[in-house]
Amino acid sequence: MTARIIDGKAVAAALRATLAQRIGGLGYAPGLRVVRVGDDPASGVYVRNKDRAAQQAGFNSATIQLPEDTSEAALLAVVAELNADPAVDGILVQLPLPPQIRADAVIQAIDPAKDVDGFHATNAGRLAIGQPGLVPCTPKGVMHLLAAAGASPRGARAVVLGRSNIVGKPMAALLLAADATVTVVHSRTQNLAAECRRAEILVAAVGRPEMVRGDWVAEGATVIDVGINRLPDGRLVGDVAFAEAARHAGAITPVPGGVGPMTIACLLENTLDAAVARRG
């Protein structure tokens, strides 16, 4: 079998077009503020792509760049200001943060109604108990991609590789809410390959370049690669060895051009949803 390639760029463009249309009917531009402390290279491309996509779709979007040596107190003051600003609907503080700042203290200081990353404990808790809230962008984007690929989670065996708070855990919660039979596997799991081979839907989110080999993939499985890893030679690869996996999968996302563009589109979707919830 050779896999169909799931075009995340196209699915993201379609989603952004529907957002632009919704914004056209609002009578105001939803406000997004991204706060970046220092210049971690992992977030550079992201910030640029996000700003462009946001402007094009009709958001009032800006990045607030702070110096690398910003104190936690100074960052909390910026967050408080954005919480209080009625023109701001969505706040995203770029991770990772420098070592003098406790990321968790900052995340929990964001108004949950403006927490478009969905990382606040209130939103994480809502997701866990099936209440409406803001859902983390990357796992939300994966759900859109599964729908676009025609891979219904209902009743399917789904395996999530990775257990982070930003991808693995919310991914498992979303798949469970969509009636999949969900297994979460991680670095301490015995016989990872065999567990992954049981998956009809395999989501790889470990941050280890090309860890998932071809023989970890069941014939016909849908493989979603969340990893974006820069190799020493400059190449960008996922957590899945793409060429090998594509020989077994029924459908697979590429890197780049898979999940990454969906993360950005879902950030915008969350910002629009947050705006409508706050201002109608």
Ligand X SMILES: Nc1nc(=O)c2c([nH]1)NC[C@@H]1CN(c3ccc(C(=O)N[C@@H](CCC(=O)O)C(=O)O)cc3)C=[N+]21
Q: Which residue has tokens 């996996």?
A: 245
**Cα separation, 106 vs 73, whole angstroms:** 9
Residue nearest to ligand X (CB): 260
Distance CA 215, CA 254 (A): 18
Q: Quote the least distance from Cβ 138 to ligand X, whole Å.
A: 6
| Strand 236-237 to 229-230 pairing | antiparallel
Is the omega angle on the peptide bond into residue 256 within 30 degrees of 0, that is, cis?
yes
Least separation, in Å, of the C-beta of 93 and ligand X? 6
The answer on whether 129 is annotated among ligand-binding residues is no
Report the nearest approach of ligand X to the CB of residue 108 (Å).
14
**Which of 8, 153 has the CB closer to ligand X?**
8
Alpha helix locations (H) across the chain? 8-24, 44-57, 72-84, 103-107, 121-129, 137-149, 168-177, 192-197, 242-246, 259-279
Active-site residues, by number, are: 50, 94, 117
| CA 59 to chain centroid | 19
Q: Which residues bind ligand X (CB under 6 A)?
A: 42-43, 45-46, 49, 92-95, 117, 137, 228, 236, 255-257, 260-261, 263-264
Round to whole Å and give the CA distance between 220 and 43.
Answer: 34
**Identity at 73, one-letter amino acid code:** A
> Which 3 state secondary structure label does DSSP give 199?
coil
Structure tokens at 138: 């990357």
Find out whether 71 is annotated in a ligand binding site.
no
N residues, the chain: 280
The residue (of 222 and 263) whose beta carbon lies closer to ligand X is 263
CB of 226 to ligand X, least distance (A): 10
Work out how close the CB of 159 gets to ligand X at its nearest, in angstroms, rounded to a whole number. Answer: 22
For ligand X, the closer of residues 11 and 23 by Cβ is 11
* Nearest distance from C-beta of residue 33 to ligand X, angstroms: 12
Of 131, 137, 99, 142, which Cα lies nearest the Cα of 115?
A: 137
Tell me how far apart the alpha carbons of residues 275 and 257 are, in angstroms, rounded to a whole number. Answer: 28
By beta-carbon proximity to ligand X, the closer residue of 140 and 248 is 140
Q: Which is nearer to ligand X, 107 or 156 (CB)?
A: 107
228 is in an annotated binding site: yes
- Check whether 130 is labelled as a binding-site residue: no
Instruction: Looking at 120-240, list the stretches that DSSP marks H as alpha helix, in order from N- to C-terminal side.
Output: 121-129, 137-149, 168-177, 192-197
Binding residues for NADP(+): 162-164, 228
